[in-house]
Structure 1
């Protein structure tokens, strides 16, 4: 066995100066990374046959809309919303997932299509895609290729606690022949 020419590799023992140098290097990297950020991400819907919008048209707001939802002493809350041209007329519609602001439990959701009344700036509900009376809640929700797609969570029986849905359904609503029609992809229902 050959003896080392250097006494016990002095550089393998940590000293306070090593910790100070490491802390300074990490701080420098963190400071530099906070200065060098990527550009903000933007989500844009691709212009498909049903997703055309004109640059001057803006989607209607959910503010001030009277949703067909009875909430008693609490107010209706817009949980999620998405915009897109659903009927191919070049003007975007807004689709909103709305439920009552219940202090406890899991209130059911309603899904509503909002547009502007013929030439007016006042937004109004023109279609109910999911009635809250079904008892379902919406987990995933988007507008894709001119259609509203959602994952619905529900209950197989009335004995299931309202906190814990045990049924998952996929739903798709699309504008056809002057009305919204719902389709469910094959095999999308699960218990």
Structure 2
């Protein structure tokens, strides 16, 4: 059978609109397939992912017993950890430990120091910051944590002749992490001890 020599049927003519709509439809199918990934496909290769500042798993707080403190203790005297608190004070996802320490003494009250401990990359604890220096001859009481803020009452001496047993100055302190360091915020002086 031979094709008819008559006019072409309207549905057999190809127009540019027909080709454009076919191309758009095919492009939409290809785009949809490209967007669908298997459930186990990752978005980025592991090597290309940015490193997170927070640890992948919980990090233990620094151990105060594993630190050597810069106290001027009598030969053979050990260091006493009088108090400690633990929290992520700087918001980096790793906990810090804040300790009140002094030289061990069976008689009298040696001065206290307050240190912030953090962990090195290898996980070893280290002194990251000194909040109260031992050479300032202070005593620390009412040491506590309020959220990510360290608070304490610091006792001192008005002169070198004030007996070391009996501090006569008192002031509350708050230490907060601001930007890249700890900032001491002293409360009003209370000299009525």
TM range (shorter): 0.5 to 0.7
- Structure 2: distance between partners of 1:69 and 1:180: 21
Q: What SS does structure 2 have at the residue aligned with 1:129? A: strand
Question: In 2, are the aligned partners of 1:62 and 1:96 still within 8 Å (CA)?
Answer: yes
Query: Paired residues, what number?
Result: 137
Q: Which runs of 5+ in 1 are unaligned?
A: 1-52
Whether 2:96 is the aligned partner of 1:99: answer: no
Q: Which runs of 5+ in 2 are unaligned?
A: 1-54
In the alignment, what sits opposite 1:63?
65
Shift of 1:86: 0.7
- Structure 2: distance between partners of 1:161 and 1:54: 52
Shift of 1:102: 2.1
Q: What SS does structure 2 have at the residue aligned with 1:63? A: helix
Shift of 1:164: 1.0
- Structure 1: distance between partners of 2:109 and 2:57: 39
Larger radius of gyration: 2
Q: How does 1:65-84 map to 2 (within 5 A)?
A: 65-73=67-75, 74-84=77-87
In the alignment, what sits opposite 1:153?
155
Deviations along 1:106-155, one digit per CA (max 9) or x if unpaired, are: 1000000111112x121111111000111110111012121111001111
In the alignment, what sits opposite 1:173?
175
Distance 1:155 1:94, change over 3 A: same
User: Could you say what the CA RMSD is over the residues aligned between the two structures, in angstroms?
Assistant: 1.8
Q: Which deviates further from its counterpart, 165-174 or 64-73?
A: 64-73
Deviations along 1:26-55, one digit per CA (max 9) or x if unpaired, are: xxxxxxxxxxxxxxxxxxxxxxxxxxx997
Query: Relative contact order (alpha carbons < 8 A, sep ≥ 6): 1 or 2 greater?
Result: 1
- Structure 2: distance between partners of 1:54 and 1:137: 39
4+ runs of 1 displaced by more than 6 Å? none
Distance 1:54 1:95, change over 3 A: farther
- Structure 2: distance between partners of 1:130 and 1:101: 18
Distance 1:129 1:89, change over 3 A: same
Shift of 1:90: 1.6
Shift of 1:189: 3.0
Question: In 2, are the aligned partners of 1:168 and 1:190 still within 8 Å (CA)?
Answer: yes
Query: Structure 1-normalised TM-score?
Result: 0.67
- Structure 2: distance between partners of 1:57 and 1:140: 27
Distance 1:68 1:54, change over 3 A: farther
- Structure 1: distance between partners of 2:170 and 2:57: 37
Q: What SS does structure 1 have at the residue aligned with 2:135? A: helix
